[in-house]
Structure 1
Amino acid sequence: MPIRPLPDTLINQIAAGEVVERPASVVKELVENALDAGARRVDIDLEEGGVRLIRIRDDGDGLPADELPLAISRHATSKIASLDDLEGVATLGFRGEALPSIASVSRFSLSSRQREADHGAALEVEGGRVGAVVPKAHPHGTTVEVRDLFFNVPARRKFLRAERTELGHIEEWLRQLALARPDVELRVSHNGKPSRRWKGEGDLLSDLRLHEALGEEFVRNALHVDREGAGLRLHGWIAQPAYNRASADQQYLYCNGRSIRDRSIAHAVRQAYADVLFHGRQPAYVLFLELDPRRVDVNVHPAKHEVRFRDSRLIHDFVYRTLQAALAETRAGTVPQASHGEANPAQPTGDHYRWDAPQAPLGLQVAEARAGYASLYGSALPEFAGGGYAGDAALAERRTLPAGTEPTLPPLGYALAQLHGIYILAESAEGLVVVDMHAAHERIGYEKLKAAHDGEGLRSQPLLVPATLAVSEREADVAEREAATLESLGFEVTRAGPQSLTLRSVPALLAHGDVEALLRDVLADLREYGESRRIASARDELLSTMACHGAVRANRRLTLPEMNALLREMEATERSGQCNHGRPTWARFTLPEIDRWFLRGR
């Protein structure tokens, strides 16, 4: 068959195969065009899950009549004019392919009016055949109608799913958009009935859209993060580890306002949650990464879902360290800050929350606290600047308050009793705290072991006989390039040939494991993500096992001073809200909750 140019309609239909996967793809492209035009309200009318009709109306800048034919021409756009513009794209759309691709596989109409124009204009396209531009009454802004999607490509139409499924994909994309643009009002109707309204009254520091999109439970467990450095800014919300999901259905990532998927950042998030999340569960987050547009290439995926970072290693490390620091503050007894950064309301006061301090002499209470700590941890209470344990001051405060003044309780309160040799029951300002003593002690021991080992660093152990590893040429290149990184992880590796490495030293703590397989995994991580936590993860698994064996076992009877010593250590230990395996270590039941159990006040 001879080579010949393809007809324009077929070219557009081929492009539609990349850009238009389903009705949700059409909604995405058209709404993004509306936002690029400055819209503050967008109406989305759908029929039969978007297959029969998609109508997008906006109040944006609008188009002049003479530009309507250009709008449906391939590679015609107002958003870029040069290579410099392409390398620093700041708009959601930029290729000029969406409208002609959509118009080639549907019955399409475009109507628009600029603010200063006397009247609007309209243009119709059916299956790629373009009609004439005609005058039309229209408010300022643009309306795009897409009817009978894939009517002229029946093979594509057969791949569409049920109406409810296609509508679900549209709703999910709109949820992604709503989280990123709380300043824009979105109104959705389906089959002639109002379906959803996203009020355009919020901003990125408000939790209104979070509540609308992800629900009250996410908002209640959300930790606000905001960090800048190295020309990067990461802000948004991550859920406490106790709030986790069976799937990745509440993971939203944006780069310069664009919803994206990125394996490297997803890996960094997983690493940050590594030892606080229960096995097989997924974290929830809404994160916004901001950087110079010239440091990210958005022109790598037909539907613009993926990007390529020029400093992927730096970004991976920045995301990991930001989230790791935030999660380290998830101590038992703490409540996440409100998502807009304000402190939580003050704790209730009054007789309903009164705690009667024991009447034992202060000196005896301090002595009991010290004895309890020594009994539980096998060492004296840690001393702080100025001498004495922080608990001494807390005990003194409880004994020296003026008459009628409520004492300030620690976050986890003070122990009352032990339940079935497993749980500690404590009275706090809010009500009742229940602690799984083994899980809590396990986390405390684990964090202490990590801190001690980190203080020593990753020591290397030389091999009696250096080992030669056969690797791929790409792996050998990585090992040679990352020799300093490998040395910091405890490996001494040199290149012995195009496809071989010589291993002379390994991390001492892991010397008895399969270090060759570990090294290969580390090289794979370095090649894909620019860094590796395989060594730290393997080390942490060993330390976690050690901490588990050293933790107090079920059915061990603790004295009240021992229980209080454990509660104070939990309050001071990073990540103590979960044990090493991601299980929660504590739960709080407020007095209003307990009152409801017994129908008090009704």
Structure 2
Amino acid sequence: MSDIIRLLPDSIANQIAAGEVIQRPASVVKELLENAIDAQSTRIEVTVKDAGKTLISVLDNGNGMSDTDARMSLERHATSKISSADDLFRIKTKGFRGEALPSIASISNMRLNTRSSSSEIGTQIKISGGKLESQEPFSTTQGTQLVVKDLFHNVPARRKFLKSDRIEMKHIIDEFERVALSHPEVHFQLNSNGNELFHLPKTNLRQRIVAVFGKKYNDLLVPLNSETQMAAFSGFIVKPEGARKRRGDQFFFVNRRFIKSPSLHHQVAAAFYELLAPEMIPGYFINIDIAPEHIDINIHPTKTEIKFEDERAIGLLLQSAVKQSLGMYSVRPELDFERENSFELPSDIKNSLPKPPSISIDPTFNPFDQGKSSKRQIAATEQFYSENQSKLNYENRNEAVSNKIIQIRRKYILAPADSGILVVNQYRAHYSVLYDQILERIERKKQHTQLLAFPESVSVGHRDVENIKVWMDIFSNLGFDLELFGNEKFVVRGIPDFAVAKNAAELITELLSAAELDKKNLSQAAVSLELAKRTSIQTGQKLNSTEMESLINDLFARATPERTPDGRLTFVVWKSEELDQRFKH
């Protein structure tokens, strides 16, 4: 048998390494930004074209490189960061493997301009598909500029898996923000297709967070500072009122390197226990300073996952630090009173107190009412919890239904049915009804915008402004009247007429947050569903009998009343036979 195992050429080996390190244009931006930070740069400018597919340029004013070092930086596993195996556990820099530049060079056309402080003239290297084309003296300022063109031009299989420019640009912004947040002392700039997206002068962490995510964060940030023998924790946590239902503003850095850690996130969430509803996720910007020998960052090519020598201890210390900050800044009461230990005011004092103004609910209930009878009975539909396929109908149709419908815990509506007891989730039922009617309005182009008496100005981050530009047509179709002002503000002039009870700025911010976190599946229908959820009857809202009856009627007028548009149950039926069985003994 002939020998079949052979060494791969460097060009193929570099492409294989690139498959691990460089997954998309954002990966190139991340690696080049980290190189610039390691070079002790104080100013970094990133420029991309066509979401990095056509061009990526990173220019810094760092230490630069000599002619020889510039050439060596393009060789695999050539690095200035480590010289022995022990150094792997003393790493303080962003990069250390020596894989990034040769990997990028192997799948692009790359140009490297650099000059060190000790050189009067710099050098320029051109390399295409991993092959050196030229190296020659070049007049340039101190620092380095790396220009990457035609990414994946020689790996068409990888290029075809890239997403739309919008999605790829979102990933680039994510990587840019992570580095910018971990190094507020550095001036950063990001340009895309000739437009300046971010201009972030050097500052402190608080102001960097505000510059990236918007002025609303200025009043939401709670300082975090805690030092222990094992690690030091610093940064900011977001007050409970700034929490969101989906992930987005959660940032962990270890020795100023961005990481992902579900276990540490769990510890922060535990510190917010009883301050947030179960579905809400706290925001935070936390750096953990720890001796390099107590962590291992050499476990993942992108270095976003690390191992702690004692992760459980670090997690508990983190939870304690977050709790301490919440208490110190009066976000968490120092004393937690259990409900059963609370006291009631004497009835004579309680009765003498002024009563809060009552809030009445529109008895017509349905904001899209088009003349449907408020007394229309439930249409016959398939009963899903019964083998004999009996129909779900109100019991004793001739009697007043309103006397038989009740609300439980301001969450569920109970009504008699021929086959048993109908239990409806009021929140799910209502947002399902609203969703259908919103889509119907869009289809018929009959959206109605309620102009605000006083337009509301909203300060946001660069990310939200860019998203509004992309999604302007979607919001317009829903009935919103928005106008952008610069890179950090937009004005709400009108909202859909069925959403007048909501705070306009808050509603837009919530929709932007939801859309931002689900860009992959973003569509008119997806945003319509989010709008329906945020303007519907909520759990905890009291309904009168007329409103409950109207809601059930509208629910069963839907094509699929048993499920919400996103597939969740809207009602269940307790069959009479099941109840009889329960009371047999």
Report deviation, 1:161.
1.1
Provide, for residues 211-238 of structure 1, a one-character-per-residue CA deviation record: whole Å limited to 9, x for no partner: 1122222221211111111231111111
Q: 2:190 aligns with which of 188, 191, 195?
A: 188
| 1:109 has 2:111 as partner | yes
Q: Which residue of 1 aligns with 2:273?
A: 274
Superposition pairs of residues 371-390 of structure 1, within 5 angstroms? 375-376=344-345
CA distance in structure 2 between the partners assigned to 1:284 and 1:218 by the alignment: 11
Provide, for residues 460-502 of structure 1, a one-character-per-residue CA deviation record: whole Å limited to 9, x for no partner: xxxxxxxxxxxxxxxxxxxxxxxxxxxxxxxxxxxxxxxxxxx
Provide, for residues 569-596 of structure 1, a one-character-per-residue CA deviation record: whole Å limited to 9, x for no partner: xxxxxxxxxxxxxxxxxxxxxxxxxxxx
Provide, for residues 139-174 of structure 1, a one-character-per-residue CA deviation record: whole Å limited to 9, x for no partner: 111110100000000010011111121111111211
Aligned alpha-carbon RMSD (Å): 2.6
SS in 2 for 1:79: coil
SS in 2 for 1:238: strand
Q: 1:7 aligns with which of 6, 9, 26?
A: 9
Contact 1:68 1:133 in 2 (8 A): no
Report deviation, 1:10.
0.6
CA distance in structure 2 between the partners assigned to 1:298 and 1:114 by the alignment: 29
Q: Which residue of 1 aligns with 2:93?
A: 91
One-letter amino acid of the structure 2 residue matched with residue 376 of structure 1: L
Provide, for residues 258-292 of structure 1, a one-character-per-residue CA deviation record: whole Å limited to 9, x for no partner: 01011221121122123221121211110111111
Q: Which residue of 2 aligns with 1:172?
A: 174
Contact 2:162 2:168 in 1 (8 A): yes
Q: Which residue of 1 aligns with 2:126?
A: 124
Contact 2:275 2:332 in 1 (8 A): no
Q: Which residue of 1 aligns with 2:204?
A: 203
Contact 1:119 1:136 in 2 (8 A): yes
SS in 2 for 1:242: helix
Matched-pair identity in %: 36
CA distance in structure 2 between the partners assigned to 1:215 and 1:99 by the alignment: 34
Tell me whether 77-86 or 8-17 shows the greater mean CA deviation. Answer: 77-86
Normalised to the residue count of structure 2, the TM-score between the two structures is 0.57
One-letter amino acid of the structure 1 residue matched with residue 254 of structure 2: C
SS in 1 for 2:240: coil
One-letter amino acid of the structure 2 residue matched with residue 203 of structure 1: N
SS in 2 for 1:85: helix
Structure 1: give runs of 5+ residues left out of the alignment.
Answer: 335-372, 379-414, 423-437, 440-553, 555-602
CA distance in structure 2 between the partners assigned to 1:417 and 1:329 by the alignment: 33
Q: Which residue of 2 aligns with 1:392?
A: none
CA distance in structure 1 between the partners assigned to 2:332 and 2:84 by the alignment: 56
| 1:235 has 2:237 as partner | no
Provide, for residues 40-85 of structure 1, a one-character-per-residue CA deviation record: whole Å limited to 9, x for no partner: 0111111100110001111011111122221000000011111222
Superposition pairs of residues 208-223 of structure 1, within 5 angstroms? 208-223=207-222
Q: Which residue of 1 aligns with 2:162?
A: 160
CA distance in structure 2 between the partners assigned to 1:4 and 1:331 by the alignment: 66
Q: Which residue of 2 aligns with 1:45?
A: 47
Report deviation, 1:193.
2.7
CA distance in structure 1 between the partners assigned to 2:355 and 2:178 by the alignment: 46
Q: Give aligned pairs, total.
A: 350
Contact 2:252 2:287 in 1 (8 A): yes
Distance 1:304 1:9, change over 3 A: same
Q: Which residue of 2 aligns with 1:79?
A: 81
One-letter amino acid of the structure 2 residue matched with residue 299 of structure 1: N
One-letter amino acid of the structure 2 residue matched with residue 165 of structure 1: I
SS in 1 for 2:17: helix
Q: Which residue of 1 aligns with 2:404?
A: none
Normalised to the residue count of structure 1, the TM-score between the two structures is 0.55
Distance 1:102 1:290, change over 3 A: same
Distance 1:281 1:136, change over 3 A: same
CA distance in structure 2 between the partners assigned to 1:58 and 1:266 by the alignment: 33
Q: Which residue of 2 aligns with 1:143?
A: 145
Provide, for residues 119-150 of structure 1, a one-character-per-residue CA deviation record: whole Å limited to 9, x for no partner: 11111111111123211111111110100000
One-letter amino acid of the structure 1 residue matched with residue 283 of structure 2: A
SS in 1 for 2:45: strand
CA distance in structure 1 between the partners assigned to 2:355 and 2:268 by the alignment: 37
One-letter amino acid of the structure 1 residue matched with residue 280 of structure 2: R
Report deviation, 1:326.
2.9
Report deviation, 1:38.
0.9
One-letter amino acid of the structure 2 residue matched with residue 313 of structure 1: R
Report deviation, 1:420.
4.9
Q: Which residue of 2 aligns with 1:306?
A: 305
Contact 2:127 2:134 in 1 (8 A): no
Distance 1:298 1:332, change over 3 A: closer
One-letter amino acid of the structure 2 residue matched with residue 246 of structure 1: K
Q: 1:17 aligns with which of 16, 19, 30?
A: 19
CA distance in structure 1 between the partners assigned to 2:157 and 2:66 by the alignment: 36
Q: Which residue of 1 aligns with 2:65?
A: 63
Distance 1:194 1:4, change over 3 A: same
CA distance in structure 1 between the partners assigned to 2:233 and 2:177 by the alignment: 20
Q: Which residue of 2 aligns with 1:451?
A: none
Q: Which residue of 1 aligns with 2:248?
A: 249
SS in 2 for 1:294: helix
